[in-house]
Amino acid sequence: MRGSICTVRPVIGIYAISTKGVASNGKSIEVQDGVKWETSFRTHGDLFKTYGLLGPVQFTASGNEVALSVDTADAQAFLKSINEPQTVEAMKVDGVKRETMKVYVLDKSAF
């Protein structure tokens, strides 16, 4: 490939999953109702626009478990934003059980 450049940016694996669909710890976040979560989550586009994301939010939901990942230029700013009152409230409305949430910064790559 002529003139190709590869840039590695931090990817945030929220709810313990990477963009490749491999769970970091074999678990996902629990929600009260997966269908309700997805319906409600899809209404938060304006909130997510404030997070400095570099692309769409990727997610999956199965039963009462969900997982998602985001690509961001500033991992620390994103981590701060998910603890802001408006995000905490949105998660509450969505039925997220925050005590089951795990966040991983996927800052390494191979191959």
Q: What is the pLDDT of residues 7-47, one digit of tens each?
A: 445 555 554 333 333 333 345 788 899 999 999 999 999 99
Nearest to 107 by CA among 24, 15, 5, 4: 24
pLDDT of residue 12: 58
Nearest to 27 by CA among 64, 57, 58, 75: 64
The rounded Cα 21 to chain-centroid distance in angstroms is 12
Instruction: Choose which CATH entry (3.90.1170.50, 2.40.220.10, 3.30.70.100, 2.60.40.420) describes domain 11-106.
Output: 3.30.70.100
CA distance 102 to 100: 7
For range 65-94, the mean pLDDT:
88
The rounded Cα 42 to chain-centroid distance in angstroms is 13
Helix, strand, coil shares, percent, the chain, to 5: 30, 25, 45
Q: What are the structure tokens assigned to 29, written together?
A: 């976040």
Q: What are the structure tokens assigned to 98, written together?
A: 């925050």
